[in-house]
Structure 1
């Protein structure tokens, strides 16, 4: 039982308590406890109720709730709230920028309990007329509601992969494990997935269908299923799943066909026929055999989008795509100095235990008060601790970084002398996200042009399936990074994956180095590096173009050179 799961249930409970107008003191107690528990460097599942009560901000009631979750995996109080909340209202609770009190007002005053009716109410200016709203809030709500509807049924790649792996394990018990695989968008490692697709080589599907119908984890949709397909829904996440069936002798052909984007399959081979037509000619034993017949080098599943993979294959030698083992360090991470869950020392020692050479700590800067951002005197304290830890952990090294907020005018939120005290500076936007493309692009380019900016963090601010990216001119931003020698991160958090892979290729072509960063707020966050690698691979990223595939000495040399150039520039 992970802390994250426990806190997720407590947060949901607190929000629904607010939705139903529970006592304000009780709600504040819940939120205060959650805030403290997010920073607690302890595994909650290892504690009994008595020990839980001794944690900061956790009284008997909340400790009992945590103990119940640990014991049963659920919380009756939350279940009771959920049972009396319409499904549509639960979906409305996901509207970005609107808390439970706002949703309660709409639900009670207008009787609106679903997104479709909410959109219609926005169009009729009924939302703007409510107390505490107005035209701007209404426009924002309309945009957010449309966004949520457009993303219905989608799940993040991380979730899709977990669901697929569990289902594959189940299917392999029922048929030949060599003829079960993910396919479609999951196998291409797209950032969000709908539906999750699997391929099974089996002559008949009755045994599999019967097993899945008996399972407590899935619902079989009979209407949308057929002789060669089963349509399921995973009960907990509501994720849609399609299982395709094909004879074993045709498995390789179907795996290749169902994996690829249609744009990939229409590619004309040297023989003047499409790859799709090639698949019609014979049953190949493997995907490698298909590429050999097409006189092409093997193209990894992630690249089969019909975009740039054939250009890469022209020379007959595809680049060796980045692997997690190529990465030598982890940059852009947070500790308890700001809003992280683990101490600086624990973040460093765990990074070292994973076999990395270096850690870049980049806690939030002073403008991010909501994240306990570092005032100048706390920057000095952190740097002193880093110096001590570097002596203790050598040859492993902690680089002194900061995630400096990009202010509205594009400036960073420290003076030059403070910025000069860091080894590297990640510049990111966290506030005032409601911008048009021109404003957002100019704001980013101004920050990129700051001589102390080493790296651009999550360039579009998107939260997949939750919040739209603010619009930017990607090409202008990437060109500016090339001009000012600024690295761009692929933020590997599964809800961000930003820079988008569709633009990583342009950055590579412009000679901009890419850093795969987890934006880790706890030690477990380091493992998100895998998802950043998936993004990089989709763009054809290699170790040579990846900044944190460099050695500790190479990274240190780059940071020193960048800082020396900045100091020279401000002196002149």
Structure 2
């Protein structure tokens, strides 16, 4: 269990204590413990009691909590609270805009214990009558219920990977010679998936089915399974698992058919029939490359098989997609100066150890008080620390950046004399997210037009399967970035993945460069970069249009030239 998971346990305990009306100081004890751990950049589960007790600022109460988690994997107080709380009330806490105080009122004053009862209470108007709620809150809750229902039975791509990796390792340990591959949404690396699908090439299916039935992490749906399929779900989270069997000689034919979207398989071949039909009728296919060649197509990487832009590549050939190895540096990184969990020094050292040539530090700006946003004097302190580290780490380079809030009027968060001190600025919206398309678009375009804006951060503010992004006119925003020379971020946090990959081709068409950024708040978050690469590839992003494929020297020149124009 890592620090992030421990912080989650502590915060959940604080939330449930408040929900149950416990002494506020009890809840604050757990909340403060979580806040303390957010500033510890070493994994506390690996520490001995003496080392734990030696952490600056730690108290005996927190040491005891960590030791309890080390010994049991949980907190007894948390388990007691969970047992005392109906599951439906816990589900209510997940609704957008509903904090623990409002959930407590709904539960204790209205007797609402699950989402269905909450919906009924809203439709009858009883929620609006509660003190502190009203018609607008009631309407927002109903909207949140509809939104949450639309997310059911959907899973983040990143969340699926841990189950998938464990499944593949276990399978290959028993069947090292069998052909196996992910197919469908998982192989196409969609940001949100509904089912984990695999194709297995085997002559003797019975042995594989027996192994699957004994695989404790998943259970079978007997009624939906068949002679050439095994269907079930992962026990932990209910994520559907579907296994399709074929003979080894049919494997690559089926790999194409089971990977491509319906639209992709309906693409017309030079002979005038659908791609899927052409592949199905092929006598034998030795590889996917060979299969596409037989159909008269260039090979198309799995990420591109969505049926959206493939026709343009039939004549021109598929683009050379961005690779993780093309990336030379990392931007959009938070440290302990704001709400990051890793120190500036350790964040830089970690990036250097991964082989990157530079890092762009972008802690939150002053308006983000909730995230420890930097006041001007703290900016000076951080810049002094960066200067010192740059002397020690050369030729590795730390660029001085900031993630400046885009204020409701479209202005950036600092006056020009402060903004001019940074090498670059990422402009992002964090507050006032409830906007219509006109207001959101105007707000972004005003920020984009600011000469100090270098990169537009997470363009829509979405949180996948949790919060819809504010609506924007994508073309107008991208056109503005093209006009003002602003880079657009592909935020690689797997809960954001924003800019949406479907708009990457338009950005490229307009000559806008994109930067794959991890939005890291912990050094391990740097590995988010892989998800940004996946989304870039889905949008046909190439090295040429990816800003952080530039060398350190090229980035230095770019920033210097841009600042010289201000």
Check whether TM > 0.5: yes
1:164 equivalent in structure 2: 164
- 1:528 CA displacement: 0.7
Distance in 2 between the 1:149 and 1:390 partners?
49
1:554 equivalent in structure 2: 554
2:201 equivalent in structure 1: 201
Distance in 2 between the 1:82 and 1:474 partners?
43
After superposition, the Cα gap between the structure-2 partners of 1:242 and 1:80, relative to the gap in structure 1 and judged at 3 Å, is farther
Distance in 1 between the 2:523 and 2:313 partners?
36
1:541 equivalent in structure 2: 541
Distance in 2 between the 1:150 and 1:204 partners?
40
After superposition, the Cα gap between the structure-2 partners of 1:39 and 1:563, relative to the gap in structure 1 and judged at 3 Å, is same
Partner of 2:198, secondary structure, is strand
1:365 equivalent in structure 2: 365
**Normalising to structure 2: TM-score of the pair?**
0.96
1:105 equivalent in structure 2: 105
Query: Structure 1 stretch 373-382 or stretch 58-67: which is displaced more?
Result: 58-67
Equivalent pairs, count? 565
Whether 2:269 is the aligned partner of 1:263: answer no
Distance in 2 between the 1:81 and 1:216 partners?
29
Partner of 1:280, secondary structure, is helix
1:425 equivalent in structure 2: 425
2:91 equivalent in structure 1: 91
1:309 equivalent in structure 2: 310
Distance in 1 between the 2:74 and 2:273 partners?
56
Paired residues of 1:33 and 1:57 also in contact (CA < 8 A): no
Paired residues of 1:228 and 1:246 also in contact (CA < 8 A): yes
Query: Structure 1 stretch 55-64 or stretch 249-258: which is displaced more?
Result: 55-64
Partner of 1:489, secondary structure, is strand
Partner of 1:427, secondary structure, is strand
- 1:68 CA displacement: 2.9
- 1:178 CA displacement: 4.1
Whether 2:501 is the aligned partner of 1:501: answer yes
Paired residues of 1:329 and 1:548 also in contact (CA < 8 A): yes
Paired residues of 1:6 and 1:70 also in contact (CA < 8 A): no
2:123 equivalent in structure 1: 123
Distance in 1 between the 2:319 and 2:355 partners?
25
After superposition, the Cα gap between the structure-2 partners of 1:392 and 1:377, relative to the gap in structure 1 and judged at 3 Å, is same
- 1:516 CA displacement: 0.4
- 1:61 CA displacement: 4.6
Within 5 Å, give how 1:8-407 maps onto structure 2: 8-49=8-49, 51-52=51-52, 55=55, 59-175=59-175, 177-203=177-203, 205-281=205-281, 282-315=283-316, 317-407=317-407
- Unpaired runs of at least 5, structure 1: 567-572
Distance in 1 between the 2:408 and 2:381 partners?
28
Paired residues of 1:261 and 1:304 also in contact (CA < 8 A): yes
Paired residues of 2:41 and 2:522 also in contact (CA < 8 A): no
After superposition, the Cα gap between the structure-2 partners of 1:82 and 1:234, relative to the gap in structure 1 and judged at 3 Å, is farther
Partner of 2:418, secondary structure, is helix
- 1:60 CA displacement: 4.2
1:453 equivalent in structure 2: 453
Query: Structure 1 stretch 110-119 or stretch 335-344: which is displaced more?
Result: 110-119
Distance in 1 between the 2:108 and 2:209 partners?
43
Paired residues of 1:49 and 1:64 also in contact (CA < 8 A): no
- 1:103 CA displacement: 1.5
- 1:174 CA displacement: 4.1
Paired residues of 1:219 and 1:235 also in contact (CA < 8 A): yes
Distance in 1 between the 2:358 and 2:109 partners?
55
- 1:55 CA displacement: 4.6
- 1:288 CA displacement: 1.4
After superposition, the Cα gap between the structure-2 partners of 1:178 and 1:564, relative to the gap in structure 1 and judged at 3 Å, is farther
Distance in 2 between the 1:61 and 1:44 partners?
15
Q: Map Cα deviations across residues 524-562 of structure 1 (whole Å, 9 max, x no partner).
A: 111110100000000110111000001111111111111
Distance in 2 between the 1:352 and 1:240 partners?
39
After superposition, the Cα gap between the structure-2 partners of 1:388 and 1:181, relative to the gap in structure 1 and judged at 3 Å, is same
Paired residues of 2:364 and 2:372 also in contact (CA < 8 A): yes
Q: Map Cα deviations across residues 249-281 of structure 1 (whole Å, 9 max, x no partner).
A: 222122211111100000010011111111221
Partner of 1:270, secondary structure, is coil
- 1:49 CA displacement: 4.1
Paired residues of 1:408 and 1:432 also in contact (CA < 8 A): yes
Q: CA RMSD in A?
A: 1.8
- 1:81 CA displacement: 3.1
Query: Structure 1 stretch 524-533 or stretch 170-179: which is displaced more?
Result: 170-179
Paired residues of 2:515 and 2:547 also in contact (CA < 8 A): yes
Whether 2:447 is the aligned partner of 1:480: answer no
